[in-house]
Amino acid sequence: MKIKNLLLGSLTSIALVTSGQSLADYPNKDIQGIIMWGAGGSTDSVMRSVTPYAEEKLGVDVIMTNRSGGVGAIATKYVYSQKSDGYTLLMGAENPQMHKVLGLSSIDYSDMIPINILARGTPIIVANNDAPYNTFEEFVAYVKAHPGEVRTGMTGNGGLTSIVLAMLESQVKLDLTPVPYNGDGPALTALQSGTIDVMSSVIGAALDHIQAGRMKVISVIDAKENNLLPGIAPITDTYPKLSSYLPWGPFFGIFVKKGTPKEAIDKLVAAFHAAAENESFKQLMAKRGFEIMNESGASAEAFLERYRSVSSWIVYDSGFSKKSPADFNIPRP
């Protein structure tokens, strides 16, 4: 590493002489953004649509790279292995918050500093158009009358579908036949072709299909009605006890490793805060059914902690976590 320092030193002196600029000024080179999901996914498109505005504020390029795999663990590990100098950002979704209890990884967002929690989604339950039920009560009654006949799409343990189902199971026993999919996109397609009858998803992913009349919503997993889906009763109307978990939903955020200098964090926070304030970004998110949060600092950390505690205990109670949340000092919600 000596050569690097030497080169850096000589370069700094050149830079100082020619521009009078001090190297201490962050940022003085391009920043790397590591996206934890593949190109074309919702995390990818959210990050690629907010970052250009932040680039303007920062004055350098943010080069975004997709490092998908391991439900986000690979990207998280990578960013964690880099220097905490503010030049490597983790652009991710909610997944790492479950990694500890699922035994996937020993790193989650509590080992990172949130730069910005951009937005969160609201889960809903959608059903095939031909399904003989239109509300959540009718759905429960139908499942009770026809045990095992209703097929539901699942996206793996720890995924949104598994947590929503576990939430419901804490209130009512449902005998459904799970059919596995590798993402909610393919599962929503299967819902339309009748392979599965019902599944949970987020508003953003299903909204277009609902508006085109290709599937129907039977419940909103929230404590209040959603203005994009007027007339659909929130789940708390049926199970008021669930309100202790809600609002709950997947989110998108940008993080740096703990130990990053304050100067860099402040600049990044300011840049991404301004970027998420941008009108066209806000409109875009609203259209996709995501709720803008644009939070950083203590409030972002509180949100992350709450998400982790709710989800970890739900999966633990329903019996498919590998480790107890108590092992990681995650408090019960």
The interface with other proteins within residues 189-208 (CB under 8 A) comprises 189-190, 192-196, 208
| Nearer to other proteins among residue 227 and residue 280 (C-beta) | 280
Q: Which of 112, 119, 99 is nearest to 321 (CA)?
A: 99
Q: Are strands 88-93 and 31-35 parallel, antiparallel or unpaired?
A: parallel
| Interface of this chain with other proteins, residues 207 to 246, rule: CB under 8 A | 208-209, 211-212, 214
- d(CA 145, CA 87) in angstroms, rounded, equals 57
Task: State yes or no: residue 311 binds other proteins (CB under 8 A).
Answer: no
Cβ proximity to other proteins, 4 vs 262, nearer residue: 4
Distance from C-alpha of 330 to C-alpha of 333, rounded to nearest angstrom: 9
How far is 239 from 170, CA to CA, in rounded Å?
A: 10
Q: Of 13, 25, 30, 266, which lies in the binding site for other proteins, with binding defined by CB under 8 A? A: 30
**Where in 9-28 is the site for other proteins (CB under 8 A)?**
11, 14-15, 18-19, 28
Site for other proteins in 274-303 (CB under 8 A): 280, 283-284, 287-288
The two structure tokens encoding residue 308: 């982790």
Which range, of 131-139, 177-185, 251-259, 302-310, touches other proteins by CB under 8 A?
Answer: 177-185
How far is 159 from 157, CA to CA, in rounded Å?
5
Q: Residue 122: name the closest of 48, 198, 228 by CA.
A: 228
Nearer to other proteins, 1 or 298 (CB): 1
Q: Tell me if 177 contacts other proteins by CB under 8 A.
A: yes
Residue found under tokens 């009605």: 225
CB 127 within 8 A of CB 215: yes
User: Is the CB of 115 or the CB of 246 nearer to other proteins?
Assistant: 115
Interacting positions 43-62 with other proteins (CB under 8 A) = 44-45, 48-49, 51-52, 60
| Selected binder of other proteins within 157, 201, 294, 311 (CB under 8 A) | 157
71 is an interface residue for other proteins by CB under 8 A: yes
Residue 201's DSSP bridge partners are: 124
